[in-house]
Amino acid sequence: MSLYRPVADAAARAPDALAVRDLTNSLSYGELDTRADCCLAALRAHGVRPGDRVLVWTDKTVASVAVAQAVLRCGAIHVPVPRGNPARRVAQIAADARPALVVTDHDEHIAGAVHVPCGDLFLERANGPAAAPHPVRPADPAYILYTSGSTGGPKGVCVSHGGALAFVDWACGELRLTAADRLANHASFGFDLSVFDLYAAFRAGASVHLVGETLARAAEPLVDFLLESRITVWYSVPSALVLMAEYGELLERGPGALRACVFAGERFPLKALKDLRRAWPDVRMLNWYGPTETNVCTSYEVTDADLARTTDIPIGSPVAGDAVSLEAGEIVVDGPTVMLGYWGGRPQSGPYRTGDLGRYDAEGRLEYRGRVDDMAKVRGHRVEPAEVSGVLVAHEAVRDAVVLVVGNGLDARLHAVVVPEPGCAPEFAQLRRHCSDFLPPYMSIDALHTVSGFPRTANGKVDRAVLRSVVARGAAV
């Protein structure tokens, strides 16, 4: 089985059924299947071969979904990059992935890469013969998701067809998805939550409704979307639901057709979670856990019993055939959903050490206890502070920089502590603009602190504990 097979199967069963809808367009399964085959022929005409990477730098549209299907049918590797990523960061991704082709729906280009407009792929072979998909094996790579890297640049998590489907098949069974379901896609295509939204919908023959990048951050319009689109299954980071509850009257307006609400990516503040549970007593609520390298590897279902809870809910028990254990307090995952490896690096061998700390509760369920290293979740996205500090140091007014994550969950913020170049006084707004040229919006700094030099430990490393006290005192901004 491959990630492209579910669309073809659904098209054979019910070609007129709705497959995917964006804010302005929609495609039935028959139309999506036809457009994917058309695009497949065009990709081959552009020289794309099995194993090649195709970087798709577009908005969230039905066209970009068809392109992704075509890339998979070509036996190539899909590299989705959200449109909001600045060109300089996309250039870093392209330098690592070395794509055979970059597909865009805008005018920005990456130097040295071969580009083709998304729309042209459907016109070039519109009247040509149908192209047969390339057969793939479960172990063949399907996509690469680029995340924040500890070395100062993005790194690509490579996932196989079989690894993705192990999760998708489990999720379809757990949520009892049917062709009547209507799934929302809130996450960007470069974020691993979208794997469920798209491929679980296609596996069940359901429809997936794309939430545009701008709409994804607008509370009241998001609630309108949920209700007017008659969404039955919602999956997002908790902060999106909190935003909708606080500023979009989500609790007051009710869940509409919603029957399952799934969240992942960060801790859900307990009070807000209890409020949601009380407001939606008939909606299943599930907390899923797993880094991009493993997709979802544990799950916990929230029930009315959790209304009496005084501590955060667990991340739950292993799913999708994975084995999850603790080694010296660190969460370690082995099983079918674990990545193939980081693109360009050594293949993943054996269990994956997540860098997350955990412990078992009295019922034997895992609880999340924080990070072994400095990586953190900010606004529902994984952030390596080293990547942000590397961008700051590239600014002409900054000699050195350290980025600290202050706060937890929805309150997590990125604080930049910088040593200015002599005679310079970098301003917060100036550095925010600089960050926006290199980083996605969720990685921009939230506060700026300037110091004459960094405190050091006995072995010469930056003393982050002392820096945190500087931030707590409110150093000069």
Q: Write down the pLDDT at residue 297.
A: 98
Average pLDDT, the chain: 92
**Cβ(130)–Cβ(37) under 8 Å?**
yes
pLDDT digits (tens, 9 = 90+) for 340-368: 999 999 999 999 999 999 999 999 999 99
Confidence of residue 227 (pLDDT cuts 50, 70, 90): very high
pLDDT of residue 476: 44
Q: What is the pLDDT of residue 477?
A: 38
Q: Do residues 71 and 189 lie in contact, with contact meaning Cβ atoms separated by under 8 Å?
A: no
Is the pLDDT score of 462 beyond 90?
Answer: no
Q: Is the model's pLDDT at 150 over the cut of 80?
A: no
- Judged by phi (left if over 0) then psi (alpha if -120 to 50, else beta), residue 245 lies in alpha
For every residue of 426-445, DSSP letters joined together read --HHHHHHHHHHHS-GGGS-
Beta-sheet pairing, 330-334 with 317-318: unpaired
d(CA 62, CA 47): 24
Which 3 state secondary structure label does DSSP give 410?
helix
Q: What is the structure's pLDDT at 378?
A: 86
Asked if pLDDT for residue 69 goes beyond 90, the answer is: yes
- Structural domains present in the chain: 5-371 (3.40.50.12780), 376-473 (3.30.300.30)
pTM of the model: 0.87
Number of neighbours of residue 357 by Cβ within 10 angstroms? 16
- Average pLDDT for residues 405-410, to the nearest whole number? 82
Backbone CA torsion sign across 114, 116, 122, 128: negative
Neighbours of 309 (CB within 10 A): 13
Q: Return the amino acid letter for 462.
A: V
Q: How far apart are CA 256 and CA 249, in angstroms?
A: 13
